[in-house]
């Protein structure tokens, strides 16, 4: 099999499941100003130590996290095992800078894996390639280290190969000690720190030997910038061995989905925050409503991608109430309409004015976000789709008989309201109607 064929096989479940939970959690939940607080405020390791000494997530309950994710219709999760600050939520033999040495006193990743597996969700590990705590990672010369440009933190004496050995050893631990891992989410490469700088070929060969089916993001060479065309080889005809299995657009949904230079669709996953921060940020109240996020999930699927929706638990280990409320509301919609998401992808026809299409084999799903005036036209689908059913309750949509579409055969029409009306829509978030496809779309 070619690399692309192997990738297609590996990502089959991922392309089916479509919807996952991103979890950003660590010491940065205590300052509660986002996970880049050390970089933004140029906090020294010494000054950041207070958060290590204090970390005591008395309310950490990954079973509750897993139940919330499952109830929202999520099928997998990705937890930050180590973020840029270098703090490890797992019991690594290669560092003392880990949860087991805090008041938490235990391997928090182990409990996450057990809890999410118990709910039937697949488990992923985020692992930061950057490490602002490790003494052998560049400080003064680096472009984003908290001590960047600070002559009190010179780089002489720092042995980057020692850091590489450290991070490869930790990835080996993550691939060895927690059973079958479904996703490895590396983050992130940047100018001068990409590809073989991470000794990525050696890393991937090790990962593949331990976890042959794991899927990997594109950030061993790329980042969240663009569609990876300029930041990786995943879209090229012959991707590198460490190009990854999916593109990871960040805080954006690609305009037209993502294809490689051969025109073939490439798996992708948009990672998006519920407010404006990945890590817990107490003052960030800019929460996206569930209605918007449902529609963004539909948009991702209609373009052939996944949505990885983030939660940032607080210092005590609790997912914020606002996030839980959003997840619950999304779950109510998913419980009724999930068949229009799972296993679905692009319909191969033009996006309609009133919403989106998703498709699964010979079933077409119309995601109606805006009520038209009068019967709603499915442009160009006259005679090509039959058996309209409302997905939420299975109700047949009666054939439209209305003077204002007499003689029009080019398009198909549906309505919901009394007489010829289509207002109000049964579900203002997204009313989904499915059809059997009988003609060539």
Which residues of this protein are in contact with ligand GLC, per CB under 6 A? Answer: 24, 35-36, 187-188, 224, 250, 271, 278
Least distance CB 284 / ligand GLC (angstroms): 14
CA dist 254 and 226 (Å) reads: 8
Least distance CB 250 / ligand GLC (angstroms): 5
| Tokens matching residue 440 | 């060539």
Q: Of 249 and 331, which CB lies nearer to ligand GLC in the complex structure?
A: 249
Least distance CB 108 / ligand GLC (angstroms): 17
Q: Of 178 and 278, which CB lies nearer to ligand GLC in the complex structure?
A: 278
Q: Of 153 and 278, which CB lies nearer to ligand GLC in the complex structure?
A: 278
Spatial neighbors of 411 by CB under 8 A, at least 6 apart, are 377, 378, 379, 380, 381, 382, 405
User: Kindly report the CA angle at 289 between 285 and 291, in degrees rounded to 5?
Assistant: 175
- Give 3-state DSSP helix, strand, coil % of the chain, rounded to 5: 30, 20, 55
Identify whether the C-beta of residue 343 lies closer than 8 Å to the C-beta of residue 16: yes
Identify whether the C-beta of residue 146 lies closer than 8 Å to the C-beta of residue 43: yes
Q: Of 182 and 225, which CB lies nearer to ligand GLC in the complex structure?
A: 225
Residue 415, classed as helix, strand or coil, is: coil
Name the maximum alpha-carbon separation found in the chain.
Answer: 83
Least distance CB 397 / ligand GLC (angstroms): 40
Q: Of 111 and 250, which CB lies nearer to ligand GLC in the complex structure?
A: 250
Q: Of 271 and 294, which CB lies nearer to ligand GLC in the complex structure?
A: 271
Q: Of 313 and 355, which CB lies nearer to ligand GLC in the complex structure?
A: 313
Least distance CB 23 / ligand GLC (angstroms): 10
Residue 426, classed as helix, strand or coil, is: coil
Least distance CB 257 / ligand GLC (angstroms): 19
Q: Per DSSP, what are the bridge partners of residue 334?
A: none
Least distance CB 73 / ligand GLC (angstroms): 21
String of DSSP letters for 313-329: --TTS---HHHHHHHHH
């Amino acid at each position: 099999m070619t690399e692309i064929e192997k990738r297609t096989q590996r990502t089959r479940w991922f392309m089916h499941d479509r919807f996952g939970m991103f979890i950003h959690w660590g010491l940065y939940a205590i300052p509660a100003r986002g996970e880049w607080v050390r970089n933004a405020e140029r906090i020294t390791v010494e000054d950041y130590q207070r958060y290590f000494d204090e970390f005591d997530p008395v309310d950490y309950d990954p079973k509750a996290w897993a139940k919330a994710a499952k109830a929202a219709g999520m099928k997998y999760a990705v937890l930050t095992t180590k973020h840029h600050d270098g703090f490890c939520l797992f019991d690594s033999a290669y560092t003392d800078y880990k949860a087991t040495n805090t008041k938490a006193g235990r391997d928090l990743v182990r409990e996450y894996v057990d809890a999410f597996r118990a709910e039937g969700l697949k488990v992923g590990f985020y692992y930061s390639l950057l490490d602002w705590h490790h003494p052998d990672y560049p400080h003064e010369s680096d472009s984003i280290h908290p001590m960047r440009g600070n002559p009190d933190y010179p780089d002489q004496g720092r042995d980057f190969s020692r850091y590489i050995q450290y991070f490869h050893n930790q990835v080996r631990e993550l691939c060895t000690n927690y059973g079958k891992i479904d996703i490895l989410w590396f983050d992130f490469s940047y100018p001068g720190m990409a590809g073989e700088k991470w000794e990525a070929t050696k890393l991937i060969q090790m990962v593949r030997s331990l976890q042959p089916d794991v899927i990997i993001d594109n950030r061993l060479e790329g980042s969240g910038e663009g569609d990876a065309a300029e930041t990786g080889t995943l879209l090229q005809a012959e991707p590198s061995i460490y190009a990854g299995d999916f593109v990871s657009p960040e805080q954006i949904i690609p305009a037209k989905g993502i294809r490689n230079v051969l025109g073939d669709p490439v798996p992708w996953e948009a990672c998006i925050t519920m407010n404006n921060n990945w890590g817990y940020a107490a003052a960030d109240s800019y929460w996206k409503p569930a209605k918007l996020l449902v529609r963004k999930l539909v948009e991702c699927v209609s373009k052939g991608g996944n949505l990885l929706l983030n939660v940032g638990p607080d210092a005590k280990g609790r997912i914020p109430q606002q996030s839980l409320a959003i997840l619950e509301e999304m779950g109510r919609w998913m419980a009724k309409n999930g068949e229009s998401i799972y296993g679905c992808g692009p319909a191969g026809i033009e996006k309609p004015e009133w919403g989106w299409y998703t498709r699964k084999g010979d079933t077409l799903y119309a995601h109606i976000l805006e009520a038209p005036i009068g019967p709603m036209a499915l442009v160009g689908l006259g005679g090509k789709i039959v058996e309209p059913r409302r997905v939420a309750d299975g109700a047949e949509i009666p054939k439209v008989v209305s003077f204002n579409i007499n003689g029009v055969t080019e398009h198909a029409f549906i309505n919901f309201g009394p007489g010829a009306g289509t207002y109000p829509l049964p579900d203002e978030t997204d009313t989904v109607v499915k059809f059997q496809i009988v003609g060539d779309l």
